[in-house]
Amino acid sequence: MKNKLIGIAVYKIEDWKRLLEISEDTHNLEKTWSEWNENIHKLEDKLTNEGIKFKEILIDLNELQNYCNRQKLRINSESRAQFVLEKIKKSKLL
């Protein structure tokens, strides 16, 4: 796993409310951006301590919605992860 690169979706604070509106799995998402941001930093610290490389991928919600519509996907954790993976592949980070 140490040779792999993990993509981490990140969101702007001003996009959090919309993310909750368009996602079908809001029960799996934090209620606030601040809560989510704190958890992301904890995850990043853990990955760093374990020697796992990661890259933050800033998510444009319009782009995410368009991607999901084209792929006929619902917006949930699985499709968001797939979208991040596609972004990493296109950036040639993998």
User: pLDDT value at position 1?
Assistant: 42
| Structural domain count of the chain | 1
- pLDDT, position 35: 98
Q: Are 30 and 13 in contact (CB under 8 A)?
A: no
What is the reported pLDDT for 94? Answer: 55
Q: Is the pTM of this model over 0.75?
A: yes
End-to-end CA distance of the chain: 13
Whether the Cβ atoms of residue 88 and residue 7 lie closer than 8 Å to each other: yes
Separation CA 90–CA 94 (nearest Å) = 9
Which residues form the domain of 48?
5-90
With tokens 């509106």, the residue in question is: 21
Question: If residue 55 lies in a helix (H) or strand (E), which one and from where to where?
Answer: strand 53-58
